[in-house]
Structure 1
Amino acid sequence: MNLNKINFFYFLGIGGIGMSSLARYFNYMGKIVHGHEKNETILTKKLEHEGIIVNYCDNVEMIPNWISSEQCLIIYTPAIPISNKQWIYLNNHGKNIKKRSQVLALITQNNICIAIGGTHGKTTTCSLLGHILYSSGMKITAFIGGISKNYQSNFFSNGKKIFLVEADEFDHSFLYLSPNITCITSIDQDHVEIYPNKEFLKNSYINFLEKTKKPYKKIFLCKEDTLSSKDAIYYSTTEKDNYYSDNLSIKNHKWYFDFHTPKENWKSLVLPIPGEHNLKNVTAALAISDYLKINQDKVRKALLLFKGIERRYSIHYKSDKKVYIDDYAHHPTEINALIKTIKKCFPKKRILGIFQPHLFSRTKFFEFFFIKSLEKLDFLILLEIYPARESPKDYNNISSKILLDKIKMISEKNKIISSLSNVVEVIDKNELNFDIILTIGAGDIDTLINPIKNLLYKKYG
């Protein structure tokens, strides 16, 4: 398919983080972009402000009349339920229908493409690398799996010399891509409905690596992980390899580290996002930047000016009495890393965590590990499981109550369940002696950010 001949784009599930970046790209290219989303969100409001038409009613009358044109492409997300009326209509009347991952592959297939994959860290790595390349003057188009605070978007572009994309392993989506430079930040089992064991996941990543092509045909792998390749350039935070970082330290609440290339030692760089896990992500971004011959001074400046990603260790309130941090962590490994980082940044402070489990399948599969990670919090408010694409009736053997009962077997004190709508009232009425408050999860828990901020400003100034 020649995308240059397509003038109209209709997105089913336009409010998703991956779908919205594509919608923004085609809008940026001067195309006519419409879409459907179940609920209005901050993101969909921004899309509308940018000139994209969004409808929120599952009604075929909302679909524009150009939908059956040969010049129209319908793009859908697998998260759309098969019962969706618009989906049924479009499936019967649309001429061109493709998944988001297929369209991303079409955009990048004849261009130099850098793809960042991995269970954890890919959004941070991709966002930082995109910022380094963009701010250094390289002509880049970037599709990010989160909202970059520097660009207030999950899409930014100043040219098309290089396309930078986040490679999503869900539903084997990344196998449509054929990148020139590939980076895998981590391999940890997740999406258990797709990969029932880690061997399945590992094999899928191997298949992805094999799609790396010339020119470049280079693969960046974290030495601490389990993958290897004859085309690999390794980076590490524990071993001296092709690229590595060490001497991590905290001074005056700022994190510093040294970075080593095959030819140079870069001393006392600022780690823009705290945490040992983020040192790995930053090392990956720096390794690719150096391989592309980005000047050290430009890299240092980009690190200093990097503001991070929304919902990745985002501090929303800070006073002498309380700190409020929001984070997207939804896997036990990510929650452990988050809590460890907060305890280093705020030693001896008491932490209240509000956690919304994401997916019944993930919660059940990692049940023991969620219990161990959440038990590390001083106070826990557990929300109901966010089902996303799953149906609760298919998972009778797991619920937030079941999870909480098992957590209480280890530590009963200060662990409760709440509905999303009652959380702020629970915090307000319960005189919990916390210093740090966290919202954790990948569902709609982000709707609590402003109410919690408002409560904290009201109570503590």
Structure 2
Amino acid sequence: MNNLNNIQTFYFVGIGGIGMSALARYFNMQGKAVFGYDKTPTDLTDALIAEGIKVTFNDDISEIDKKVIQKEDVLVVYTPAIPKGNKVLNYFFAEGFSIVKRAQLLGEVSKNTLCLAVAGTHGKTTTSAILGHLLAECNMPVTAFLGGIAENYNSNFIYNGSEITVVEADEFDRSFLQLQPDIACITSMDADHLDIYGDASEIENAFRAFAHLVEKEEHVFIKQNLPLDGMTVAIGENADYQAQDVKIKNGAYNFNLQTPDIRIENLVFHLPGHHNLTNAIMALGMAILAGSPTDRLPKALASFKGVKRRFSYKIKTDALVLIDDYAHHPTEIDALFQAVNEMYPNDGKQIVFQPHLFSRTRDFGEGFAKSLSQFDEVVLLDIYPAREEPIEGITSKWLLDQINVIQKRVVFKSALPEILLKSECKIKLLVGAGDIGAEVTNLTKILKNET
């Protein structure tokens, strides 16, 4: 890859992706010419266009801007999620453009900085958002590339300087092995992406290889009980970094943080769930190691508002609670249930879940069924295919038959307003990583008007 300072024009194939758009925003802020293609317009692509980035939605060579065609100082960036038949990307390959994957570019951007990398099959986005926010609020010179929209910034990009980078270390396609982290954490290591890895042992090997990218073992933070070497993190257990004296007050966690060297008292954290509290401990530990002034961390943590679609309250009244969440793996659904049940132990809970990927549904069918069976009512949408073709016999009806709940059904999205309104459950959850997120705004309006 040429020196990034010499590249004046960037073209992102799949610019609407959450990780791609953060990089596009970074280079746009640097004064570079930024262009991109994506399949469909979204709120995120609308925001990019409003920021001055030219985005097209036609997979046609004629749509590529003339400034890009010249190619001398152009870098093309893509993700593994782009279909092989994409005409725009194939044109760039055929014409000999300089082309890199998103992970390579992220590694290049972060390599001459103090790189703080957040890895894990679950919890990456929330942890990196907390960490980026802590550093920014402590006035540390940080650039954070996030895999979700942080509520405090209404963006997946935080900029407060360029000496420190916070990046999500994505295990998909082994992308995180492109990074050169100085400090890292691993929030979880469950089996996932078996279409890439084959089995759980290969995933563990990849995370182990990622952890070894960090020179000092004490600069790697790991969730307690993971089979890795590093500084352990836990709630109320004998770990290197632990939350102690945890209480819930006014819907928020109040706790003290004990580290090997210091103790920070009277911390307040507003995101529900033990998984989120563990994420916060991870972020605090990394922020301390990066040199954040510890006296400013309590105020910074208390001001963190969360990440969109990660336990996002859409309605919160005495009569109705509507929560939007990105969970798409049994472990994430278990964590979601723990969080909602801790906050609302005596209220009925209805979950609307859209399975994501045929392969994931097949590989974890039993786990999904067990996790979903914890709720009082289960509503399934059809499987969101993303990059996959259907797999014979793997459908939402197949999953539904394994769920041990009396109130359960598979429905079309058009039926959701009536089903949500008729349910007597006070707690309603809209869950999944597919296009269910696009339904949330409309369903919120309908429920608000009817309650």
Quote the offset at 1:246 in angstroms.
2.2
Work out which of the residue numbers 197, 200, 204 in structure 2 matches 1:198.
200
- 1:77-115 deviation digits (Å, cap 9, x = unpaired): 111111122122222124211110011111112222111
Residue 9 of structure 2: aligned partner? 8
| Secondary structure at the counterpart of residue 34 of structure 1 | strand
Residue 396 of structure 2: aligned partner? 400
User: Aligned-residue CA RMSD in angstroms?
Assistant: 1.5
Quote the offset at 1:265 in angstroms.
2.6
Quote the offset at 1:68 in angstroms.
4.4
Residue 108 of structure 2: aligned partner? 106
Quote the offset at 1:238 in angstroms.
4.3
Residue 416 of structure 1: aligned partner? 409
Query: 1:125, 1:284 within 8 Å by CA — same for their partners in 2?
Result: yes
Which residue identity is paired with 2:26? Y
- 1:242-294 deviation digits (Å, cap 9, x = unpaired): 22112222123222122102233323311221111112111111111222332
Residues 10 and 238 of structure 1: is their aligned pair in 2 closer, same or farther, counting only changes over 3 Å? same
CA distance in 2, matches of 1:376, 1:242: 33
Work out which of the residue numbers 313, 331, 338 in structure 1 matches 2:329.
331
| Secondary structure at the counterpart of residue 51 of structure 1 | coil
1:269-280 → structure 2 map (5 Å cutoff): 269-280=267-278
Which residue identity is paired with 1:177? L
Which residue identity is paired with 1:324? L
CA distance in 1, matches of 2:152, 2:331: 27
- 1:149-169 deviation digits (Å, cap 9, x = unpaired): 111111111211111101000
CA distance in 2, matches of 1:179, 1:252: 37
Is 1:42 the equivalent of 2:43? yes
Query: 1:67, 1:94 within 8 Å by CA — same for their partners in 2?
Result: no
Work out which of the residue numbers 126, 129, 139 in structure 2 matches 1:127.
129
Q: Which moved more, 1:397-406 or 1:306-315?
A: 397-406
CA distance in 1, matches of 2:43, 2:337: 27
Which ranges in structure 1 are unaligned for 5 or more consecutive residues? none
| Secondary structure at the counterpart of residue 293 of structure 1 | coil
Residue 264 of structure 1: aligned partner? 262
Query: 1:187, 1:226 within 8 Å by CA — same for their partners in 2?
Result: no
Query: 1:261, 1:290 within 8 Å by CA — same for their partners in 2?
Result: no
1:53-202 → structure 2 map (5 Å cutoff): 53-65=54-66, 66-202=68-204
Residue 296 of structure 2: aligned partner? 298
CA distance in 1, matches of 2:198, 2:236: 30
Which residue identity is paired with 2:33? I
Residue 225 of structure 2: aligned partner? 224
- 1:287-345 deviation digits (Å, cap 9, x = unpaired): 11222332233100101111111111100112221110001111101101111111111
1:244-263 → structure 2 map (5 Å cutoff): 244-263=242-261
CA distance in 2, matches of 1:438, 1:307: 19
Residue 430 of structure 2: aligned partner? 439
CA distance in 2, matches of 1:69, 1:292: 39
CA distance in 1, matches of 2:101, 2:237: 40
Which ranges in structure 2 are unaligned for 5 or more consecutive residues? none
Query: 1:116, 1:182 within 8 Å by CA — same for their partners in 2?
Result: yes
Quote the offset at 1:217 in angstroms.
7.8
Q: Which moved more, 1:344-353 or 1:248-257?
A: 248-257
CA distance in 1, matches of 2:290, 2:41: 40
Which residue identity is paired with 1:310? K
| Secondary structure at the counterpart of residue 402 of structure 2 | helix
- TM (norm. structure 1) is 0.94
| Secondary structure at the counterpart of residue 263 of structure 1 | coil
CA distance in 1, matches of 2:89, 2:36: 12
Is 1:456 the equivalent of 2:447? yes
Query: 2:420, 2:428 within 8 Å by CA — same for their partners in 1?
Result: no
CA distance in 2, matches of 1:175, 1:242: 26
CA distance in 2, matches of 1:218, 1:248: 25
CA distance in 1, matches of 2:415, 2:15: 29
Residue 240 of structure 1: aligned partner? 238
Quote the offset at 1:454 in angstroms.
0.8
Moved runs in structure 1, 4+ residues, more than 6 A?
none
Residue 317 of structure 1: aligned partner? 315
CA distance in 2, matches of 1:237, 1:319: 29
Which residue identity is paired with 1:132? L
Work out which of the residue numbers 361, 364, 375 in structure 1 matches 2:362.
364
